[in-house]
Amino acid sequence: MTKLQIEDIVSLSKRRGFVFQASEIYGGLSGFYDYGPLGVELVNNIKQLWWEHFVQRQDNVFGVDGATIQHPELWRASGHLSGFSDPMVEDTLNHKRYRADQLAGVDTTDLKELALLLKGKKSPDGNPLSEPRQFNLMMQTWVGSVEDEAAKVYLRPETAGAIFTNFLNVKETMRAKLPFGIAQIGKAFRNEISPRDFIFRVRELEQMELQYFIYPDDQQEAYEQWRQFAWHFLVDILGVNETSLSWHKHSQKERAHYAKAAHDIYFDFPFGAKELWGTHNRSDFDLSSHAKFSNKDLSILDESSGQKTIPYVIESSVGVGRLLLTVLSDAFSRDKVGGEERIVLKLKPSVAPYKIAVSPLLKNKPELVTFARKLYEELKQEFLMVLWDDNGNIGKRYRRQDEIGTPFCITVDFDSLKDRSVTIRDRDTTKQIRVRADNVASTLKPRLH
């Protein structure tokens, strides 16, 4: 079987309305993408499932929705203003910029090491390169009518900042006691030097993050709990093939200076195994730093010892775009039906944009259309995401629904007018069964989870 290429996902995404290039009619803008009609439904399903399992089903996790622009001191306290950077080199003739580590083919940010590796090398255009230097990824703008240093602010590079600054607000309003978590889904912005691999590395992204606040003595147990919970969510809730996933434990050199432990879940993308989901033990760095820069007491009373302490934080973080790319790549499949190749997205029904497609066998037969339309309206009330499809012959409709991942297709034919039964076709197996129209909802309901 032909190996899946990223071009296959890009083509399907454009052709079927999952992902479009942002500002495409103007030539596009590198690192920015729009979700189309099917993409936004798939993304919303993913986010809803994450929110359900990480927040709503938990007794001690609460949601917030922080502002995209925060006080600039927040980013000084978090270390982003001084350390949120990538190594960069520049073509000295045309001034194009490149990630130095990518050109060198190594995973390091050490500028001296990169300078040695790139010595004498040319840019992709064949021109001399500058010395490597750090390039800050923060996107800046201004608040107010004057563009000066006092008015300079930043689009947030990650969503966790507002979680930490709202730690006391959540603790007090929800009467929360350790351990408890604060979760958020929101946009972040990073001025990537070289966006690449479709929606894997972009300049505008959406994150789903949980910051779980604990007593220091509970760090190991909580770390393992949320590390395994992320794996469980991918495999059992989203239906990702477990053989495509692997763990990567960060070495001491890889970890941030404040992190006591870090694991990433890697997924086998079409362009190789890459980071998908991170679990990190951030120690007490965040609240300690924000307490220092804000002059606010962010400690709590440890009821067991009677002493005040700064909570530790276990972070679980995943990008929505990477999760979408994972789901599309994992579900993408080719097989043959009737001697013809088909592309099918074998999405878990709970994730699929549309759950059911309803069709009259022939759209120019009013009696079939009337029957099918009535069934469609009834199912729409029950399942909401039901699609009406009468375009092309029935074979083409099936192929179209296979490509967008619709689990079940229902066809009304001439026998339906006699015995009130319809055909239900399964996307993955292509097997068909006959069911009375008034039993369709009860037949499909248990199969759409």
pLDDT at 233: 98
Q: Distance (Å, rounded) from C-alpha 245 to C-alpha 235? A: 9
Contacts of residue 324, defined as CB under 8 A and 6 or more positions apart, other chains included, come to 18, 19, 39, 42, 43, 46, 199
Q: Residue 412 pLDDT > 70, yes or no? A: yes
Sign of CA dihedral 430, 431, 436, 439: negative
**Digit-coded pLDDT (tens) for 52-70:** 999 999 999 999 999 999 9
* Contacts of 430-433 spanning 24+ positions with Cβ under 8 A: 430/337, 430/398
307 CB-contact burial (10 Å; exposed 0-12 / middle 13-18 / buried 19+): exposed
Fold assignment, 354-447: Rossmann fold (3.40.50)
CA atoms 36, 41, 46, 52: torsion sign? positive
Pairing mode of beta strands 204-214, 245-249: unpaired
Tell how many helices (H) and how many strands (E) occur in the chain: 15, 23
For the domain made up of 85-136, give the CATH fold.
Herpes Virus-1 (3.30.40)
**Do 6 and 274 touch, CB atoms closer than 8 A?**
no
Top CATH class, 37-79+149-328 = alpha beta
Q: How far is CA 195 from CA 8, 99, 192, 198, 235, in A?
A: 19, 10, 6, 8, 28
Q: Where does 282-390 show beta strands of DSSP type E?
A: 300-301, 308-309, 312-319, 332-337, 340-345, 356-360, 386-388
Which tokens belong to 38? Answer: 């099917």
pLDDT single digits (tens) 339-361? 889 999 999 999 999 999 999 99
Q: What length is written for the chain?
A: 449
Nearest by Cα to 318 from 391, 439, 237: 237
Per-residue pLDDT, 108: 82
Residue with tokens 């691999």: 197
Average pLDDT for the chain: 94
pLDDT of residue 1: 59
| pLDDT score recorded for residue 26 | 96
**pLDDT higher than 70, residue 84:** yes
How confident is the model at residue 96, as a pLDDT?
87
Q: How many CA atoms lie within 13 A of 347 on its CB side?
A: 30
- Tell me the domain boundaries of the chain: 37-79+149-328, 85-136, 354-447
Euclidean distance between CA atoms 270 and 272, whole angstroms? 6
Q: What is the pLDDT of residues 282-315, one digit of tens each?
A: 999 999 999 999 999 999 988 778 889 999 999 9
Positive or negative, the CA dihedral 281, 285, 288, 289 is: negative
Two structure tokens written together for 119: 């010595």
CB 264 within 8 A of CB 277: yes
The pLDDT, as a whole number, for residue 413 is 96
Residue 142 has a pLDDT of: 92
* Region 196-225 average pLDDT: 96
Beta strands per DSSP E along 138-256: 139-142, 152-155, 180-189, 204-214, 245-249
pLDDT in tens, 115-168: 999 998 999 999 999 999 888 888 999 998 877 777 889 999 999 999 999 999
Query: 62-66, 193-197, 217-221, 286-290: which has the minimum mean pLDDT?
Result: 193-197
Secondary structure class of 332 (helix, strand, coil): strand
Axis-axis angle for helices 6-16, 394-404 (nearest 10): 120
- Is pLDDT of 17 > 80? yes
